[in-house]
Amino acid sequence: MHDSSTVLNMRIERRGKVEPLTPRFTKFLVKALGGELLDDIQAPTDRRIDYRCLRGLLAIELKTLEEDATERMSNLTDELEKRDDWPEFYGSWPIGSVLSNLNEPESVKQKTGERIGRAIVNHLKKANKQLAAHVRDFPRNRVVRLVVLLNEDHEIYDPATVAHLMQKELSRRDGDEPRYESIDAVMFLTERHATRVGNDVAFFVGTFAGQPMDDSPWKGEVLDEIGRRWSRWNGARVVPRDAEAVNSFTTIDHVPDQMRRQDLWRLQYRRKPYMQPLSNEQMRDRWDECTVRSLFAFMKDSPAKPPKDAAMRNTEIFTHVLEEIGRRGIPLPQLQAETDRLLAAGVRLNLPSEHQEWLAANVKHLKDRPPVATDKKSA
């Protein structure tokens, strides 16, 4: 657990410099598991796996997820945006909100998982060959062949996504043989994702058994011991959870020392999402009210220019509205300006009759326009 992590409602935040996971884990292998770096034993051209631990009982191939898969996901999004059912929206949406608007969400979810998982699959293929060569070059009766995947702080490799990929990938067969016949298990560690256990913050350490484990249940005890030692090494405790608990892990929100004003407003709303109790219809009302205030603030012939601080407050509220609408996945067509709705918003805002008349005459200017100007100044 990072000392700077803070639990806020259902969220977890952190500040400050993030310690890389890979150097800490490699030190753990040497100090806590008696690991030998095989680069020190074999010539680099002959290197097979990374570490031999517990006097040879444990063979570990260490793979670090250093790429964040952003480019691959961006390319996929470009493809998916061509779908007829791709929703129109302002701002950014979580993938779950997008999927809720699609006709075939499961197929898109599968494509998304495959695109995210390409780096992981490539690591597994290489590790399978390396572990096979290690067993051949260092034969012994009992050995646990483990792949360790370390997520170096990328949001996209969340526990639920990785767990789904592992369960699918490790069950694959090529004919009568397991595809990964030389991998007993895969251990995945991430400290960019966490959950709450009482008042504590718990990081994810997941072990996924490969098909070779079916005939060697004793290997599970070795893997459990690794988990216990890793926890002790970090001054923490092991909290066993069932398979469904993987869905309770959330991405830790890293709060920078400086941020744009709108990013600060988004953070403040995530800390206190006061619009969550509202219905979708009430959210549309908040959208309409921001639209009306914006119209009076930014149109040249407005009969009532609000003070600068009031216009800024309206932009802040609209940022909160966008956050909540994005969380729910309310598409833009449901929010497009309609005369009756905007006039009703004017009434809720207690506009005088002459201002309502001006509003009615200018509703046509709002079609296909965002209701509030974007402010990119830093906080």
Domain ranges for the chain: 6-254, 261-366
Of 69-83, 114-128, 152-166, 236-250, the one with minimum mean pLDDT is 69-83
pLDDT band at 3 (very low <50, low <70, confident <90, very high): very low
Mean pLDDT of 57-65: 95
Check whether 332 has a pLDDT greater than 60.
Answer: yes
- The burial class, CB within 10 Å (0-12 / 13-18 / 19+), for 270 is middle
Check whether 300 has a pLDDT greater than 70.
Answer: yes
pLDDT band at 42 (very low <50, low <70, confident <90, very high): low
What pLDDT score does 2 carry?
39
Closest C-alpha to 96, from 343, 336, 329: 329
Strands (E), the chain: 6-8, 11-14, 36-37, 51-53, 58-65, 144-151, 173-174, 177-178, 185-197, 200-209, 250-251, 253-254
Check whether 333 has a pLDDT greater than 90.
Answer: no
Check whether 220 has a pLDDT greater than 90.
Answer: yes
What pLDDT score does 345 carry?
94
Condensed to tens digits (0 to 9), the pLDDT of residues 99-137 reads 778 888 777 777 777 888 888 999 999 999 999 999 998
Sign of CA dihedral 99, 103, 105, 110: negative
Contact call for residues 211 and 170 (beta carbons, < 8 A): yes
What is the average pLDDT value for the chain, to the nearest integer? 86
* Residues β-bridged to residue 313: none
Condensed to tens digits (0 to 9), the pLDDT of residues 15-36 reads 989 999 999 999 999 999 999 9
What pLDDT score does 33 carry?
96
d(CA 252, CA 159): 12
Check whether 291 has a pLDDT greater than 80.
Answer: yes
